[in-house]
Structure 1
Amino acid sequence: MRIGPYTLKNTLFVAPMAGVTDRPFRILCRTLGAGMAVSEMVTSQSLLYGSEKTRRRANHEGEPEPKSVQIAGADPALLACAARHNVENGAQIIDINMGCPAKKVCNVMAGSALLRDPALVARLLTAVVSAVDVPVTLKIRTGWDRDHRNGVEIARLAESCGVALLAVHGRTRSCFFEGEAEYETIAAIKSAVRIPVIANGDIDSPEKARAVLEATGADGLMIGRAAQGRPWIFREIDHYLKTGERLAPPSRAELYAILMGHLETLYAFYGEHTGVRVARKHIGWYSKGLAGGAGFRRAVNQADSIEDQRRLLEAFFGRSPAGLAA
């Protein structure tokens, strides 16, 4: 697949997730098989450009190309300004968020709230595409609620405005993450446009990945929550789609190496105070399903230093039974 001048090694995307898809996680997922990763959402409010949080979210140093930054907002001029700002600071693709269901985002008419106003969607997309000379991609949901599924209309708008690629989470905003993803709507969207369409929602195994591709006709897949604590899911899916065979799960030694490597990049990226706290949730995800994991997670959540976290991990992996728990 190509996005503008960039050729991806495969069509597996890491979904942008606030508080998760920071630079260390994006690089790790790319290393473990993902073809592309999109940054956490960056606000279009210019007053926040100088904040440490925003700088970290848009930090792509050492990341493989293409470097994609997701922006959000409801004002065309501000969103265009945000796009230019990020391109000037190294973004090679601009992704626009019209899929976030969070109340704090929707309450300011950003994220998936924009799906209620197709005319505003068109103005926003036109403003951003006109403002930058890099590809612009878009992430949406299937509509605002079950009675207002307008994903096909929005997809056609996006294509007419010059959007290069569309990712679709197969739920409405009102569904949040409940119920099953509606792949039939993604299929309808794919049939309605010529630009690449990426299917997102409930893809948690190689078999499910193939089934979603067959059900939707999508050009690729975007994986979010299933990669939390399991970033190797991308190589598993890639291998299965190419060969029809399942890769063996990582050994306990490899799991430990992946986890420790991830934590070291978090400590370096955030510093000790924030790094230790960000690491807690990742350790929790990685240890899910391991024998003795509950007690281990309680201890990790009380650890306040890098050395304490390292010590707990060494002890847990050193004393636990070999192999992953069922």
Structure 2
Amino acid sequence: LLASSILAICTGFASGFHMLVIGRILQGITLAGLPAVAMAYLGEEIEAKSLGMAMGLYISGNSIGGMSGRIISGVLTDYFSWHIALMGIGVISLLSSIIFMVLLPKSAHFEPQNFKLTSLAGSLFSQFKVPGLTYLFTIGFLLMGGFVSLYNYIGFELIAPPYSLSQTVVGFIFIVYIVGTFSSTWMGMLADQYGKNKILPLSLVIMLAGVVTTLHPNLWVKIIGIAVFTYGFFAGHSIASSWVGRLALHDKAQASALYLSAYYAGSSVGGTVSGSFYHQWDWPGVVGMIVALSVVSIGISFKLRGRDPVRAI
């Protein structure tokens, strides 16, 4: 956290594009392991019946950060420059990191192990043998592929006629992330109460309904569709990520890292491939691709039935 915050501040001093890219690459490297460690910490420290809600709160923090970062950086860029925007985000992150270090309770259930490359590789591949984990990894891949595709290209759709919105207005559309703040926690609670195997497919169906709604030409209906899609995405991600922590029999951080690797691979692959769909068929092409990803993820979620170790009382 400290390293990524300092690098964020340093990127504000970048004198050219190449230095900016290098700074962002280094920042990505420092951040890469954070979500896996955070998910493993929750999986080890939070009791099973409350894990869904706890993971939902964590994911809601992601949604608030994603929304705030885009809005704050946009405002700072408009009033000052992108240099000041990056440095401002870095300072906020640095202060948050210090607060986090002071407030975080010490781990009570972590069991340290000696680092051995051979045993590490063995435990890594053994994760794929755990029933259900591969399904969750695949769902993470499909979820993020659809999410990034929508947010990558909806801006182009709204800037173009007949909407012709400004960059500033399009940037504020990210405020719909706030529904993800609510859904990740609320749907996580429902998953704790009624079972993940029931709430996860429901979340994916909501996501599917939202992306289909964005095909409507009315701007407000389209924005509602984005909000519904975002609701379903953050709910699905929250439930799937908490489920990984429950199914993993050992090395929970490693299992979480594999989930996140698939998750971000989906971001890279989906975000790139959907560009071709947008180029060939405009927004309906992107929607068609996300619909396909959603339908496949719903089908996979039904294969997880019976693998939820937490039962509703």
Structure (1/2) with the larger strand percentage: 1
TM-score relative to the length of structure 1: 0.25
The structure with higher relative contact order (CA 8 Å, sep 6+) is 2
Structure (1/2) with the larger helix percentage: 2
TM-score relative to the length of structure 2: 0.26
